[in-house]
Amino acid sequence: MQTRAHILVEGLVQGVGFRWFVARHAQALSLKGFVRNLYDGTVEVEAEGDRGLVEELIKHLKVGPRSAQVRDLHIEWRTPENETRPFEIR
């Protein structure tokens, strides 16, 4: 089943390679969407694809790269937009 998740990642997640970490895992899972830093210090992730694969990405987000300290994830499940572009860093 296809789904889309909007995820906000809180903690020490900027300046630690978090966006590259997310993009690498999302691309390996063949997910569509994007990752970007927000002005409030959080990282925003939009991931679309098979629900099981999106959930797999969420498991990685909870840990993050070695130098990150993930404090919390806020996940909102959405209707897929049939994204066609590859996962990207914005």
Domain residue spans in the chain? 2-89
Counting residues of the chain whose pLDDT is more than 90, the rounded percentage is 96
* Per-residue pLDDT, 20: 97
Kindly name the residue from 4, 19, 71, 90 that is annotated as catalytic. Answer: 19
Residue 84 in this model has a pLDDT that exceeds 90: no
**Closest among 45, 37, 39 to 16, alpha carbons compared:** 37
Mark whether 37 is an active-site residue: yes
Kindly name the residue from 4, 24, 36, 37 that is annotated as catalytic. Answer: 37
Average pLDDT across the chain, whole number: 96
Pairing of strands 88-89, 32-37: parallel
Confidence of residue 83 (pLDDT cuts 50, 70, 90): confident
Mark whether 82 is an active-site residue: no
What pTM was estimated for this model as a whole?
0.95
Q: What is the CATH number that goes with domain 2-89?
A: 3.30.70.100
pLDDT in tens, 5-49: 999 999 999 999 999 999 999 999 999 999 999 999 999 999 999
